[in-house]
Structure 1
């Protein structure tokens, strides 16, 4: 029996009807799991349903009629739903809308693909609630949005989330931190260990100091506690 998923029960049923090419009154629905929104993605569950196509009644053949080989009626075959990038992006959009709604925020969410990155821009009057201290909330939401896309999509796209101009301001701050830390390393002659950062911020540190003749950089640890180490360049 085909199984379908969605962020809500209705979306799961709609996905099944679309995949099977039938109307609502042509199927019976068995609920496997009711969807839960959760908060910031925690405790979230997708809705899962089974759809069983109701076979149309066929009249019994007349006794005197010659027995013929029965016609073969093929219903659309469905295993697991195929991964689809546009569907995955729509689910990410729905996920972000659910979060802002749960937080009671009036927000407008737009998206734009730039190469292998898909940016979701959130405009709201209460930016701080979505950004959090040192960007912890926005980074957590972005991680969960990436997980959502990876589950349903097939492309190796990176999901990026921005609230106002936070990412631009944060990128400038990270690069200033890189340069300041490099000067400290040169002055003290010892390595500096930065706080854990998401991958895209660590890349900004590495890129900023890539041409610095006095220091080198590398990352240590495991996500989400992976961090950058800035070390004095070995003298030749």
Structure 2
């Protein structure tokens, strides 16, 4: 299910969702729909979010540590420190990605790079990283989507799997932050708007949050499906 909420900041909007839905923030996915900034002292600042969530089941769920052990739920390891799978969930994810890449013809060594309360990082080491990443990361995104469909079949379906290879995610993030500032400056000078290329939810969120505090600049997502576009536009002082 999807509902939209608005607040002066993203956290205010999330707090409103928590109160209205009776859920904890880790029990739903947040997508920024639009942001606006402007007016005297930023009085018109607002963030609108779309909250994606599943209705709670009546039947009790299995123990949470079946997928995320308490001893490692918040552990984060840097590069060069891969973690061993510790649960049936983690073994299934590693085996799945290993099998899929082999059947694609691009065998990869799969390792766990970090664990958080509702997130796990998976690194693919392969001789075919360019193909695994694809244009603008679309192949990697598709493989990540398939992996998360698998993870949704386990008791802790809210755990999100993040796939990365050769540090692509970090490089892409830096590129998008630079792009957001560049386009933001352009539309502010021209007092116009510009529609960016289609992006996945994480990338759109990055654009929205990067420009959220820039005076007189607003952003909004346009389109349908997984890959939507972000429009950056000039709002003007009120």
TM-score (norm 1): 0.60
Residue 182 of structure 1 corresponds to 184
- 1:117, 1:160 within 8 Å by CA — same for their partners in 2? yes
Match of 2:218 among 216, 219, 226: 216
1:147 Cα deviation after fit: 1.1
Match of 1:138 among 123, 137, 140: 140
Q: Distance in 2 between matches of 1:88 and 1:216?
A: 41
Q: Which stretch shifts more, 110-119 or 166-175?
A: 110-119
Which runs of 5 or more residues in structure 1 are unaligned? 1-80
1:192 Cα deviation after fit: 1.3
Which runs of 5 or more residues in structure 2 are unaligned? 1-60, 68-86
**CA gap 1:222/1:88 in 2 versus in 1, 3 angstroms:** farther
Task: Write the mapping of 1:47-126 to structure 2, written as runs, cut at 5 A.
Answer: 84-85=66-67, 86-111=87-112, 112-126=114-128
Question: 1:173-214 CA deviation, whole Å, 9 max, x = no partner?
Answer: 111111111122112212211122111111111121121113
**CA gap 1:153/1:87 in 2 versus in 1, 3 angstroms:** farther
Task: Write the mapping of 1:141-220 to structure 2, written as runs, cut at 5 A.
Answer: 141-220=143-222
DSSP 3-state at the match of 2:97: helix
Q: Distance in 2 between matches of 1:158 and 1:199?
A: 13
1:232 Cα deviation after fit: 0.8
Residue 131 of structure 2 corresponds to 129
DSSP 3-state at the match of 2:125: strand
Larger Rg: 1 or 2?
1
Q: Distance in 1 between matches of 2:232 and 2:211?
A: 9
Q: Distance in 2 between matches of 1:97 and 1:235?
A: 53
Q: Distance in 2 between matches of 1:231 and 1:158?
A: 32
- 1:109, 1:122 within 8 Å by CA — same for their partners in 2? yes
DSSP 3-state at the match of 1:88: helix
Question: 1:42-98 CA deviation, whole Å, 9 max, x = no partner?
Answer: xxxxxxxxxxxxxxxxxxxxxxxxxxxxxxxxxxxxxxx969534333222111101
Query: How many residue pairs were aligned?
Result: 156
